[in-house]
Amino acid sequence: MHRALSVLSRFALPALLSAVVALPAAAQALPGTEVGAQNLRPYHFLFIAYAIAWILVFGWVVSVARRLARLEKRLQD
Protein backbone atom coordinates (compact mmCIF):
# COMPACT_ATOMS: atom_id res chain seq x y z
CA MET A 1 0.00 0.00 0.00
CA HIS A 2 2.74 2.42 1.05
CA ARG A 3 4.77 1.46 -2.04
CA ALA A 4 1.78 2.10 -4.30
CA LEU A 5 1.20 5.49 -2.70
CA SER A 6 4.88 6.31 -3.07
CA VAL A 7 4.78 5.46 -6.80
CA LEU A 8 1.61 7.52 -7.16
CA SER A 9 3.14 10.56 -5.50
CA ARG A 10 6.43 10.28 -7.44
CA PHE A 11 5.21 9.57 -10.94
CA ALA A 12 1.44 9.69 -11.46
CA LEU A 13 0.75 13.05 -9.79
CA PRO A 14 3.59 14.95 -11.55
CA ALA A 15 2.52 13.40 -14.87
CA LEU A 16 -1.07 14.47 -14.30
CA LEU A 17 0.04 17.95 -13.28
CA SER A 18 2.19 18.26 -16.43
CA ALA A 19 -0.76 17.19 -18.56
CA VAL A 20 -2.98 19.79 -16.91
CA VAL A 21 -0.46 22.51 -17.74
CA ALA A 22 0.49 21.27 -21.21
CA LEU A 23 -2.79 20.13 -22.78
CA PRO A 24 -4.68 23.43 -23.00
CA ALA A 25 -1.57 25.20 -24.33
CA ALA A 26 -1.00 22.44 -26.90
CA ALA A 27 -4.58 22.63 -28.12
CA GLN A 28 -4.39 26.39 -28.53
CA ALA A 29 -1.15 26.09 -30.50
CA LEU A 30 -2.85 24.15 -33.33
CA PRO A 31 -2.90 26.19 -36.59
CA GLY A 32 -6.06 28.11 -37.47
CA THR A 33 -7.90 26.99 -34.41
CA GLU A 34 -9.17 30.19 -32.85
CA VAL A 35 -12.76 28.97 -33.16
CA GLY A 36 -11.73 25.37 -32.46
CA ALA A 37 -9.96 26.41 -29.28
CA GLN A 38 -13.07 28.33 -28.22
CA ASN A 39 -15.17 25.20 -28.74
CA LEU A 40 -12.68 23.02 -26.86
CA ARG A 41 -12.39 25.47 -23.97
CA PRO A 42 -15.18 23.89 -21.84
CA TYR A 43 -13.47 20.49 -22.26
CA HIS A 44 -10.13 21.92 -21.10
CA PHE A 45 -11.75 23.60 -18.13
CA LEU A 46 -13.60 20.42 -17.24
CA PHE A 47 -10.38 18.42 -17.45
CA ILE A 48 -8.52 20.95 -15.30
CA ALA A 49 -11.34 20.99 -12.72
CA TYR A 50 -11.28 17.19 -12.40
CA ALA A 51 -7.47 17.19 -12.26
CA ILE A 52 -7.52 19.79 -9.46
CA ALA A 53 -10.00 17.68 -7.48
CA TRP A 54 -7.85 14.54 -7.97
CA ILE A 55 -4.58 16.28 -7.08
CA LEU A 56 -5.90 17.95 -3.94
CA VAL A 57 -7.96 15.05 -2.59
CA PHE A 58 -5.49 12.29 -3.42
CA GLY A 59 -2.60 14.53 -2.39
CA TRP A 60 -4.27 14.70 1.03
CA VAL A 61 -4.74 10.90 1.09
CA VAL A 62 -1.09 10.30 0.16
CA SER A 63 0.16 12.91 2.62
CA VAL A 64 -1.80 11.38 5.53
CA ALA A 65 -0.73 7.82 4.60
CA ARG A 66 2.95 8.84 4.34
CA ARG A 67 2.92 10.77 7.63
CA LEU A 68 1.26 7.81 9.35
CA ALA A 69 3.74 5.29 7.91
CA ARG A 70 6.71 7.53 8.86
CA LEU A 71 5.45 7.95 12.43
CA GLU A 72 4.79 4.22 12.87
CA LYS A 73 8.30 3.46 11.64
CA ARG A 74 9.74 6.02 14.07
CA LEU A 75 7.73 4.53 16.95
CA GLN A 76 8.96 1.02 16.06
CA ASP A 77 12.60 2.24 16.05
Partner 1 sequence: MTIEKLRRWGLALASLGVLGILVLHALVFFWVPTEASQGIIYAIVYVHAPSAWVAFLAFGIVALASALYLWLGDEKVDQAAVCAAEGGMIFTTVVLLTGPLWGKIAWGTYWTWEPRLTLTLLLWFIYLGYFLVRSSTENPERGKRFAAVVGIVGALDIPLIHLSVLWFRSLHPGPVVMKPEGATMDPRMLTTLMLGLLSFTLLFFGVFALRYALETATRAAAVRARAART
Distance of alpha carbon 8 from alpha carbon 25, whole angstroms: 25
**Per rule CB under 8 A, is residue 46 in the interface with partner 1?**
yes
Write down the least CB distance from residue 74 to partner 1, Å.
7
**Per rule CB under 8 A, is residue 52 in the interface with partner 1?**
yes
**Per rule CB under 8 A, is residue 4 in the interface with partner 1?**
no
Ramachandran area for residue 39 (φ above 0: left; ψ -120 to 50: alpha; else beta): alpha
Contacts with partner 1 by CB under 8 A: the residue count is 23
Write down the least CB distance from residue 31 to partner 1, Å.
24
**Per rule CB under 8 A, is residue 71 in the interface with partner 1?**
yes
The answer to whether the beta carbons of residues 26 and 50 sit under 8 Å apart is no
Q: What is the DSSP letter of 32?
A: T
